[in-house]
Amino acid sequence: MARPVTVQSVVAAGRRAALARMTSRVNIWRRVGLSEQDEDNGSEAVVWAAVYVDHPFRLGGSERGGSSTHTVSVGGVEMQLATRVGNLPHDTDDLMDGDLIEVISGEGAAVDSVFRIVEADWADQQTARRVPVVAADRPEEWP
């Protein structure tokens, strides 16, 4: 006798399938403050903390196949940045807006790329944690 199909069993199967497609690995970093001031030159370095290390990831295209952008202001000039979708395991729960995703392995040109999380909103019954991301510069403070 076959087991009845439930919402939980369908979501669980979808989560396994989504995780299997996450063939890239990433480190996720969060800015946590500034270092102590250098007494010689007065400079301070940004301090980053690793939130996730060697975490499964898949970089998708625009959400729902549409062309999506995010507006940022740099030096008083507004710019449009292409928004992509970062897919992470469904239980990736410690994300914040502004966290940086460093792609450390995987396929294609995304390796060594850095993306900034635009919105780290959470939703229930998802097969993956999907967050909008935009390309970002690699911080000088990183090794």
Domain boundaries, the chain: 7-135
Which residues of the chain register pLDDT less than 70? 62-74, 79-80
Would you state the pLDDT for residue 48?
Answer: 93
Would you state the pLDDT for residue 129?
Answer: 93
- Please tell me the distance from the alpha carbon of residue 123 to that of residue 128, in angstroms, as a whole number: 10
Instruction: Reduce the DSSP state of residue 4 to 3 states and report it.
Output: coil
Closest CA relative to residue 58, chosen from 92, 91, 23: 23
Would you state the pLDDT for residue 44?
Answer: 82
Domain 7-135, CATH = 2.40.10
Q: Report yes or no on whether pTM surpasses 0.85.
A: no
- A 10 A CB-CB count for 111 gives 13
At position 44, the amino acid (one-letter code) is E
Location of structure tokens 């030096």? 75
- Please tell me the distance from the alpha carbon of residue 49 to that of residue 99, in angstroms, as a whole number: 10
Please tell me the total number of residues recorded for the chain in this structure.
Answer: 143
